[in-house]
Amino acid sequence: MAEKTILRALAGETQDVPPIWMMRQAGRYLPEYRATRAKAGDFLSLCYNSDLATEVTLQPIRRYGFDAAILFADILLVPQALGADLWFVTGEGPRLSTITSQAELEQLRPVADIHETLSPIYQTVRNLSQELPRDITLIGFAGAPWTVATYMIAGRGTPDQGPAHALKQENKPVFEALLDRVTEATIEYLSAQIEAGAEVVKLFDSWAGSLKDKDFEKYSRDPAARIVTELKRRHPGIPVIAFPRGAGDKYIGFARATGADCVAVDETVSPEWVAKHLQPDSCVQGNLKSSHMVTGGDAMISETRHIVEALRNGPHIFNLGHGITPDADPDNVQRMIDAIRG
């Protein structure tokens, strides 16, 4: 642990130079990733090929020397393991068979059966735990129940998560039963990743911001708390990063309410606000705009240094406010790292 800066930050240590990693750091902006994906044939084949998934996870570590590697997988592998049909449309994203009725809900597999489908993912984690340099932290992850459920209900990503909100209003028993099933599966999935060698796990609630008032607490915060509590019961000391993207003022108190060791924040909140309202409770992660990785220049350097300076008095993991995009310039990533470490 003494060598792993990410673990030190998650334990509450303030460091002169914050550790760095990026969401989607293994991705299409890297030519070596594109070459490996072409070898795999398609995205899901890449996810389920443990050797190739290990390779793409390692690529940004070799190129940039990030302080953490995050498992290469996808948040929609859990619904697939539960029995939903999943495929990806080139240029458009994921498609799933939908769950909007009691009959469709009952067709899902039991949670206990997910591991057979997901076993290649656990093998990737085992591979990485052996192959990563000893000072690099291995992060596992899953989608949060609300976010995963929005895809399962709509059958695809939507701009406002309207179908999930509609089901919540029109058939709350089915909606809540689905959320409960996904919550249970997420606990099992992350627990298996930890058993395979993940040293940290992250919970991505990418669509948390569309939940308002009590719905945010009931469908984003409370499932996160349930997952964190059970993981820490099974694996004492395991650090958990929570990312309720778009939460705004509801970021405040999220770490205390859920037991998460770190709250990742998006770019809609200022680092000064984060330092005041969140850092006293936990480590924080974030929050450079992803667009800076495309445009680069002095604005990127200035904002990078601004974030580091604003969060220098507490535990901080430097990251983007969301995942890096396929049109990012790989050279800008190196310039960002140099601005932090230089």
Give the residue numbers marked as catalytic.
24, 28, 37, 74, 151
Contact present, 303 and 293 (Cβ < 8 Å): no
φ/ψ (deg, to 5) at 284: -125, 155
Q: How far apart are CA 218 and CA 224, in angstroms?
A: 10
CB half-sphere exposure, 263, CA atoms < 13 A? 32
- 282 by DSSP, 3-state: which? coil
Q: How far apart are CA 99 and CA 339, in angstroms?
A: 46
Q: Which residue has the tokens 């989607």?
A: 24
Q: Rounded to whole angstroms, what are the CA distances from 301 to 213, 222, 296, 306?
A: 36, 38, 8, 9
Collect all residues with Cβ–Cβ distance below 8 Å to 216 and sequence separation of at least 6.
208, 244, 247, 250
Q: How far apart are CA 261 and CA 210, in angstroms?
A: 24
Instruction: Give the tokens for residue 93.
Output: 């994203």
Q: How far apart are CA 262 and CA 237, in angstroms?
A: 13
Q: How far apart are CA 293 and CA 291, in angstroms?
A: 5
Q: How far apart are CA 86 and CA 153, in angstroms?
A: 13
CB atoms within 10 A of CB 192: 18
